[in-house]
Amino acid sequence: MASDLRLDNLPATVHLFVVNRFILLPETTLPLTLTDERYSGLVESLAAREGYLGFILSQDSKEGRRFQEVGCLGRIREMERDAYGLNVVFEGVIRFRVRREVPKAGKDDFPRAEVGYEEFAADLEDGEEDLEGWDLERIKATLIQIGRKATPEGWSSLEAMPPRKILRLMAQTMPFAPAEKQALLETPTFRALLELLFALLAVNFLTTTPDDSQAQVN
């Protein structure tokens, strides 16, 4: 990710937005409409300061923690109110690991945590990565071709997007199980993300069950 950010410029403590249906990844954007005034008030107050919010998946834990250990730092890029709520676009910046949950203070009932970014420092860099065997432009063209068959219009913005970003968005938005989403979030490299993404696509969408009559071979 091309960025002028440095690890020591990032907040050591962040408010956490605990979610269960989606993830945020570096190099992607996430549009949300916040209808709960508590959340919209929090986001507006954060926008007036650093503009950062940590996105993290929920979990059931015997230790009582309500969220996973790894999440992604989001930065507020756009914000506008309308009759339906607060429309916000978040940009994924860098992944983080939770070091400890911070006790609640005063009326602030949103979870906060001390976080570390060091193991995900590559999220801020533009370093070359070995992607031998992965033709990203061909994958992009195939995905757009498949999409056009289902929905002919509205693909111009995707066509202008780098294939790397398209694949990250795909990983972010596909309806995988929470554990699968978390595994995608924690992949150490982009190549590892690609490998897991297409393995999950094969398992979830490209296989058939023995009870499927179409799977019969005569």
pTM assigned to the model: 0.85
At residue 214, what is the residue type? Q
On whether both 155 and 112 belong to a single domain, the answer is: no
pLDDT of residue 144: 84
Is the distance from CB of 31 to CB of 87 less than 8 angstroms? Answer: yes
Residues 60 and 150 both lie in one domain = no
CATH at residue 98: 2.30.130.40
The closest alpha carbon to 30, from 96, 88, 93, belongs to 88
The parent domain of residue 168 ranges over: 136-205
If one counts the domains in the chain, the total is 2
Last residue of a domain, one of 100, 124, 148: 124
Q: What is the pLDDT along the chain (218 residues), one digit of tens a residue?
A: 545 788 989 999 999 999 988 899 999 999 999 999 999 999 999 999 889 999 999 987 666 668 999 999 999 999 999 999 999 999 999 999 999 999 877 666 789 999 999 999 999 987 678 888 999 999 999 888 877 877 777 677 788 889 999 999 999 989 999 999 999 999 999 999 999 999 999 988 765 444 443 333 32
Q: In angstroms, rounded to a whole number, what is the distance separating the alpha carbons of residues 159 and 186?
A: 27
Asked if 28 and 64 sit in the same domain, the reply is yes
Query: Quick check: is 217 in a domain?
Result: no
The verdict on 119 and 148 lying in the same domain is: no
To which residue do tokens 């860099």 refer?
Answer: 125
Same domain, 11 and 118: yes
Between the alpha carbon of residue 145 and those of residues 95, 138, 158, 207, the distances in Å are 31, 10, 11, 21
